[in-house]
Amino acid sequence: MKKIIVILAALSCIGLLTNAGLPEKGPRPEIRPGKSITAEPTPGLPPKPEPKPERPDTETPPVTQPPSGSSPPLEKQGPKLPSQQTLEEQHLTIAPESDAEHSECVKELQALGVVFKDISRIDDGNGCGIDKPIKVTEVLPGIKIKPDAVFRCPVALGLARWMKESVIPAARVAAPDQGSIVGINQASTYICRLRNGAETGKVSEHARGNAIDIASFSFEKGKDIAVQPRREDSTLIGAFQRTVSSAGCLFFTTVLDPESDAAHETHFHLDVLERKGGYRYCH
């Protein structure tokens, strides 16, 4: 009898649970402070994209055309670089020479037997010229320079020392059958121009009386020894030219030989340009 009562009670509970239902709407969530609830999109329709913010105009504004018949505005140009300037545009001046230094240089030339004379100051304008020029006819006793050379005294002094201490000894070894050197054939000394005869750029050291170009050496017998490309010349003459070219840097601050560039394939360029720190350029 007790078992029947328990079973009936259990069936009653199941019936009550079965009839019980969930509420149609659940509790609505509370809104957090500072936030708003966005309406949900209508089911079945794609969400509508929000418009993009306008982009600030960063492009260059269109060029306004000048009125018909008017001239276009001129473009502003900055100053020319030194490499773009002509000799006239550089406004150069002739470097003054110390009387004491010139006098000392002249004494050294006289001691070496250089044949020369002082000539009047040269001023060809635009910075071309020599304050205290000299004209040399013999670089050492018995060794003429053809044609006569005009430059500053330090060039003549460097040339005489180079010939005495390097060129003459090297020639005795390289060309003993040709006798002594009797002449130097120069291609250029003083001349008013820019480097390599260009229309613009730096002034040539020739225009300041600081340089000489040597084309060949003349001997008592035999042919002249011409200055020409000899890097691959395995003869004694090739060795002679390379030797005197290298030694030139002991007496000049700049030495350019036929191996340096096309502008110097036929001569040595020797000059006494003073650079910062005593720097020398030799090629």
Q: How far is CA 137 from CA 140, 202, 237, in A?
A: 9, 29, 26
Give the pLDDT band of residue 264 (cuts 50, 70, 90). very high
Kindly report, residue by residue over 154-166, the tens digit of the pLDDT.
999 999 999 999 9
- Comparing 9 with 272, the larger pLDDT belongs to 272
Average pLDDT for 118-131: 96
Residue whose structure tokens are 């001569």: 267
Q: How far apart, in whole angstroms, are the C-alpha atoms of residue 118 and residue 102?
A: 11
Q: What are 184's strand-pairing partners?
A: 145, 217
- pLDDT of 21 higher than 80: no
Q: Are 119 and 135 in contact (CB under 8 A)?
A: yes
Section 36-64 average pLDDT? 47
- Report the length, in residues, of the chain: 283
The answer on pLDDT for 26 being more than 70 is no
**42-46, 100-104, 172-176, range with the lowest pLDDT:** 42-46
Nearest one of 236, 136, 226 to 185, comparing CA atoms: 226
Question: Does position 177 have pLDDT exceeding 90, yes or no?
Answer: yes
Span 230-259, pLDDT tens digits: 999 999 999 999 999 999 999 999 999 999
The answer to whether 165 and 171 are in contact (CB under 8 A) is no
pLDDT at 30: 52
- Specify which residues 41 forms β-bridges with: none
How does pLDDT run across 51-60, given as a tens digit for each residue?
Answer: 544 444 333 4
Q: Looking at residue 276, what is its pLDDT?
A: 93
Q: Residue 198 — pLDDT band, cuts 50, 70, 90?
A: confident
d(CA 115, CA 26) in angstroms, rounded, equals 124
Q: Tell me the C-alpha distance between 58 and 85, whole Å.
A: 39
d(CA 111, CA 102): 14
Residues 130-147 have a mean pLDDT of 98
pLDDT of residue 8: 54
Tell me if 217 sits within 8 A of 182, measured CB to CB: no
Q: Which of 218, 228, 114 is nearest to 171 (CA)?
A: 218
Rounded CA-CA distance 115/247 in Å is 23
Q: What is the mean pLDDT of residues 93-116?
A: 97
Contacts 24+ apart (CB under 8 A), 133-136: 133/190, 133/209, 134/106, 134/109
Q: Say if residue 163 is exposed, middle or buried (CB neighbours under 10 Å; 0-12, 13-18, 19+).
A: buried
In degrees and rounded to multiples of 5, residue 149 shows phi and psi of -105, 135
pLDDT of residue 13: 47
In the beta sheet, which residues pair with residue 203? 194
Q: How many CA atoms lie within 13 A of 132 on its CB side?
A: 15
Whether the model pTM is above 0.85: no
Residue 122 CA to chain centroid, in angstroms?
32
